Structure 1
Amino acid sequence: MLHTMKLAATAAALVVTAAGCAVAEQSKMNDQEIAHTAYTAGNLDIRYAHLALAVSENPSVRAFAQTMIRDHTAVNDEAVALIGRLKVTPQDNPLSQALVKGAAEKRTEFMKLSGHAFDCAYATNEFGYHQVVNQTVAGTFIPQTTVPELKHLLEGALVTFRAHEKHAETMVKGLKCGA
């Protein structure tokens, strides 16, 4: 069951990120593009969480959504402060654009669901989304970042995001999604 759950979670995340990850692998991103993409990914997860709070009645799903809002807002606030200190402008790019497009499609799917179906779709997406985001941050963003302060921010955020991934995996198991 765990193997099936991981495949489902990965498939859900790929709906959001497949095109974008291919872009990231094909070209080296600069620090402004990395900052913009990381901020965008955080904002998208915040939007997913707000939708979960509006739709779900499940206490574990709602608690997870509140955690996503709190933690991703904190990281994004740190990023905004860093951008201000460095006096740089984040740069939109094909990866952040693909993330926004994929997330809009995913939200449309979510809005057609309710109850357990919504809870499982949200939880499974969060698990897969965090798997892909964590892999991208660790394997692409951190190695390509040249500004030490941004690298430090990403490294700290990765610790939090890995905890989110484990929490989402536990939530999927607890909801018995795909069972």
Structure 2
Amino acid sequence: MRTAKFWVGTVLAGALALGYGCGSDANKDPAPQDAPQQQVPDAGSDAGVVLTLTDAQIARVLQVANEGEVMLGQYAAPIATDPSIRAFNEQMVTEHTAVKQRLDALLATEGIVPEDSALSLQLQTEVQQIMLVLQGPNAPTGAALDLALISAQLNAHARTAFIGDSLLTPQAANTALKQELENERQAVQMHIDAATDLQSGLVMPPAMP
């Protein structure tokens, strides 16, 4: 099974944008036979961690990614002041809930029982940290809040895309699971493109004639 190097980033929060970072190094050299398959990263560490994932662990990462984007959407939609930001987050709740249901049905059919890994636990922690920032006493308001909300969704989707490309799809063994990964990757890209346009509109609104 191939491996990839995943750079675990810390949560970054700002007045105008929220997100979490990850590096772009994705090496696929085989790991030594006696190498540990997973290492839980230290909190806040940027050290590279080589992860080898089973189909069960890949399935759980997919579940967590969809659950996180639904969580962000459920929080953002009622408090967004910009109608387009509200609509986008409502769309994320609807679409990622449907994807999660489709994924769960596929896993049941294929007999894959999701299993947590260092990566799925890390993703859960990062979404929780972002939610704490968004709900905290120093959270932005007004237009800055709208920008923070769409930036959180954009970064979550970009994170999912990176993980899918560098870790999940290359390692998936089950054919149906691999196809699901490819389908979800296409949807995630559409969400990234839409969120990027919304973010740009808030950062650089159209000039008045």
Indicate whether the TM-score tops 0.5.
Answer: yes
Query: What is the total number of aligned residue pairs between the two structures?
Result: 166
- 58, 61, 65: which one aligns with 1:34: 58
- 77, 93, 101: which one aligns with 2:101: 77
* Cα gap change, 1:147 to 1:23, in 2 (>3 Å): farther
**1:137 is aligned to 2:164:** yes
Note the C-alpha offset of 1:33.
Answer: 0.4
AA paired with 1:62?
R
* Cα gap change, 1:23 to 1:151, in 2 (>3 Å): farther
Determine what percentage of the aligned residue pairs are the same residue: 22
Show the counterpart of 1:172. 199
- C-alpha separation in 2, matches of 1:168 and 1:14: 17
* Cα gap change, 1:154 to 1:133, in 2 (>3 Å): same
CA contact (8 A) 2:161 2:188 kept: yes
Show the counterpart of 2:86. 62
AA paired with 1:85?
T
SS at match of 1:84: helix
- C-alpha separation in 1, matches of 2:55 and 2:47: 15
Note the C-alpha offset of 1:133.
Answer: 1.1
Instruction: Specify the structure having the higher radius of gyration (Cα).
Output: 2
AA paired with 2:187?
T
- 112, 119, 131: which one aligns with 1:95: 119
- C-alpha separation in 1, matches of 2:190 and 2:49: 25
Deviates more, 1:35-44 or 1:133-142: 133-142
Q: Which has the higher contact order (CA 8 A, sep 6+)?
A: 1
Show the counterpart of 1:154. 181
Deviations 1:123-159 (A, max 9, x none): 1122222222112112211110000000001101110
AA paired with 2:96?
H
- C-alpha separation in 1, matches of 2:87 and 2:48: 32
Show the counterpart of 2:7. none
Note the C-alpha offset of 1:23.
Answer: 9.2
AA paired with 2:147?
C
- C-alpha separation in 2, matches of 1:59 and 1:130: 20
- C-alpha separation in 1, matches of 2:202 and 2:80: 12
Show the counterpart of 1:13. 20
AA paired with 1:115?
G
Show the counterpart of 2:132. 108
SS at match of 2:184: helix
CA contact (8 A) 2:58 2:168 kept: yes
More helix by share: 1
Stretches of 4+ aligned residues off by more than 6 angstroms: 8-11
Note the C-alpha offset of 1:27.
Answer: 1.8
Q: Which consecutive unaligned segments of at least 5 residues does structure 1 have?
A: 1-7
Q: Which consecutive unaligned segments of at least 5 residues does structure 2 have?
A: 1-13, 23-40, 205-209
SS at match of 1:101: helix
